[in-house]
Amino acid sequence: MTFPAQYYHYCLAVFALLACLHYGGQAYQHDFYQDHTHVCLPGQIITEVQSTFNGRDRKWNVTCSPAPGSARTIDCQWNAGPLFINEADGEMLYQCPGQKVVTGMASVHKGVQSDRLYKTYCCDVEGHVPHECFYTRYINAMQGDMDYTLPSGNSLRGLYSYHNNKREDRQFQLNVCRLDALELDTSG
């Protein structure tokens, strides 16, 4: 069976477009200058953070995966206190309260400052506790892309970031913790 030349060229064009989208064009969860909100489904935690920069703003992609042992995420809340965990052009240092881990992020672009204000969504992971926490090195260069996958068995606990007015961008460090099942002392 032979196909007409038009069909062959159509299929080739579709294949090229799909390959380009898969390998060359990262899909982000929002456009530049737009609000971003992504919350993991119940029972999931953040396992990868990606971002790209256009000279004045960042757009984000947050990936979630099932919590260890298919544990439930419970007692979830947006960060307490001020509406955002940073001020425009200001430093950010935030850690989820108690034993909670970050399971969602939101941000809004502030045009005058060319910066974003951030919020986090934090949950307890039933029967698990974050420990052996550390801060990563900076996971992006100023005005550079970001693609960080958390090590297996780890969770995102918090963020550190500072803003550079000359470059109108932020560098980020993540507070990453092992997330293991609680060991109950049954000796007593």
- pLDDT tens figures, 95-141: 999 999 999 999 999 988 999 999 999 999 999 999 999 999 999 99
Note the pLDDT of residue 188. 57
Please count the other Cβ atoms lying within 10 Å of the Cβ belonging to residue 62. Answer: 22
In sequence order, what E strands does the chain have?
36-39, 44-53, 58-66, 73-78, 92-95, 101-110, 115-125, 128-135, 146-149, 154-164, 169-181
**In this predicted structure, what is the pLDDT of residue 184?**
60
Bridge partners, residue 68, by sequence = none
Q: What is the mean pLDDT of residues 53-75?
A: 96
Q: Report how far residue 134's alpha carbon sits from residue 144's, in angstroms, rounded to the nearest whole number.
A: 23
Query: Largest Cα–Cα distance of the chain, in whole Å?
Result: 79
Using CA atoms, how far residue 129 sits from 21, 44, 48, 56, 76, in Å, is 38, 15, 20, 38, 15
- Rounded distance between C-alpha atoms, residue 46 and residue 48, angstroms: 6
% the chain with pLDDT above 90: 78
Q: What percent of the chain has pLDDT over 70?
A: 82
Predicted model pTM: 0.82
What mean pLDDT do residues 32-45 have? Answer: 97
Q: What is the pLDDT of residue 81?
A: 67
Dihedral (CA of 67, 120, 47, 176) sign: negative
Q: Which helix (H) or strand (E) holds 6?
A: helix 5-23
> If you average pLDDT over every residue of the chain, what do you get?
87
pLDDT at residue 88 is higher than 70: yes
| pLDDT > 50? residue 9 | no
Residues 82 and 87: their CA atoms lie apart, in Å, by 10
